[in-house]
Amino acid sequence: MSGGPYSDPAAVAGLLAELRTAAARLEHRLTLMEVCGTHTHSVAGAGLRRLMPERVRLISGPGCPVCVTPVAYLDRALALAALPDTVVCTFGDLMRVPSSTASLERARAEGARVEVVYSPRDALELARRSPELRVVFLAVGFETTVPAVAGVLDEAERTGVENFMLLPGNKTMPQVMRVLVDDPELEVDGFLLPGHVSVITGWKLFEFLPRDFGVGGVVAGFGPTDVAQGVLELVRQALDGRAEIGNVYGRVVTADGNRLARELVDHYFEPADEIWRGFGVVPGSGLGLRSRWAHRDAAQIEVELPLPSEPVGCRCGEVLRGVIDPPECPLFDSGCDPESPIGACMVSSEGTCAAWWRHERWAAGAVR
C-alpha cells in the first residue's frame, strides 16, 4: 500500500475518529446504502464496514451491473450467439454469469460465437470489418456506460455500418432507488451516491431523494477516505435534521454532468420497463431503443428461449436488495466462491458476494 491522500491510513483513521464522535450523538441507528460496485469493493477492501461506529450500518445495494442483469437477458444473448452468421460481443465480466442453461463462456467453448470487448467501439469495428456477419453488442451497464453505447450507435448511423445491433439491457439508478427507499424491510436513511455515474448525470439527478422521500445522499469518490467522508457527511445531515444531496466528489462531479453525453443518449434511447435480478420489473428503469432505431434492436430478432431459471439456492436477489448479507446465503463459501461461482454476485469482481468473500468472510465468522 502506497498511502496517498485518498487511501492514507492516517487520513482514514482521522475521518473515522470524527465519524465516531459525530455518530455518538445520533439518536437512532442509521442505515446507509452504497449503490456502486466500486464503493462495494472499497468498503470491503478497507474493512470500513467493521470500522463503522455502532450506530452506522453500511450496506450494499444493486451497484453491480452484471449482477442485476436478469437471467432472461443472458438466455436471449445465448440464443442470439447460436444463430448463424451472428457474433455476440460483450464486456468480459458478463462471460461467467450463469443463464438458465450455461454461461456465455461455456457456450463459447461449445462453439457459440462470443467475443469479449473492452469497448463497444471494438464491436462496431468487428462489424465494419465483417460485413457478412451480424454483430450484436450486449448493452449492459449503468449511466456511466450508456454514453459509450449511444456513441457507437451514432457512429454506426453516421458511417452506415448496417450489421451492428444492440441487445438493450442498460439500466438507470433513480427508479430502483425509489424502490429501495420505499422498502419497509430496509429503512434506508441515506445513500452514498456513485461518483462516475454522476460524472454523466450530474448530482441533480438525485434530488428526488430529499424532495420525494426526505432522504439524503452524498456523491463520493472511490478511495476509502472518499467513502468515509461521504458517510460522515450523511451522519452530519442526520444530526442537523437535514436531507439533501451533498457532493464530496466536487473535484470531478458537477450539478448537471455531461450534457453532450446525456443528449446523445436521449436521442437514441427512451425509458423502458426493465427486469432487475432481485427486484423484478422496475418501471422506467431501463433504456430501450427509440422506434426510429428499431433496425439496431437485437431484441426484435425471433429466437427460442428457455423458461428463465435461477441457480437453486442462490440468494443473490436478496443480497442485491440489501436485505441480507452474503454470509446469510447457504451457498456462500459453501459451494459458491470466486473460483466456481454459482450466482451472479459471486461471478463479478464488483459483486457484493465476491467483495465479502475476498475481504470480509473471516471477520463475519462466515468461514465454515
Residues engaged in binding another protein (CB under 8 A): 1-2, 4-7, 36-38, 41-42, 45, 63-66, 91, 93, 118-122, 141-145, 147-148, 151, 154-155, 194, 196-197, 199-200, 221-223, 226, 251-252, 258, 260-261, 264, 338, 348-350, 358
* DSSP symbol at 17: H
How many alpha carbons lie under 13 Å from residue 33 in its C-beta half-sphere?
26
Please identify, using beta-carbon distances, which residue of 120 and 190 lies nearer to another protein: 120
Read out DSSP for 234-255? Answer: HHHHHHHT---EEES-TTT--S
Name the residue nearer to another protein (CB basis): 226 or 310. Answer: 226
CB of 92 vs another protein, minimal distance in Å: 10
Tell me the three cell numbers of residue 40. Answer: 462495494
Query: Considering beta carbons, is residue 222 or 279 the nearer one to another protein?
Result: 222
Rank residues 151 and 286 by Cβ distance to another protein and give the closer one.
151
Least CB distance from residue 5 to another protein, whole Å? 6
Cell 457507437, residue located: 152
- Rounded to a whole number of angstroms, the minimum distance from the CB of residue 302 to another protein is 29
Q: How many Cα atoms are found within 13 Å in the side-chain-facing hemisphere of 89?
A: 22
Beta bridge partners of 287: 271
Please report how close the Cβ of residue 120 comes to another protein at its closest, in angstroms.
Answer: 6
Nearer to another protein by C-beta: 93 or 105?
93
Give the containing element (helix H, strand E) for 109.
helix 104-109
**Cβ 176 to another protein shortest distance, Å:** 14
Q: Select 41 or 113, whichever has its Cβ closest to another protein.
A: 41
* C-alpha dist (Å) from residue 357 to 306, 327, 341: 31, 9, 11
Output DSSP code: residue 144: T
**Distant-in-sequence, close-in-space partners of 362: CB < 8 Å, separation ≥ 6:** none
Shortest separation between residue 140's beta carbon and another protein, angstroms: 8
Which stretches within 111-246 are classed as H helix?
A: 120-129, 146-159, 173-181, 195-201, 208, 224-240
Q: Which one, 8 or 244, has the nearer CB to another protein?
A: 8
Task: Compute the least distance from the CB of residue 251 to another protein, in Å.
Answer: 5
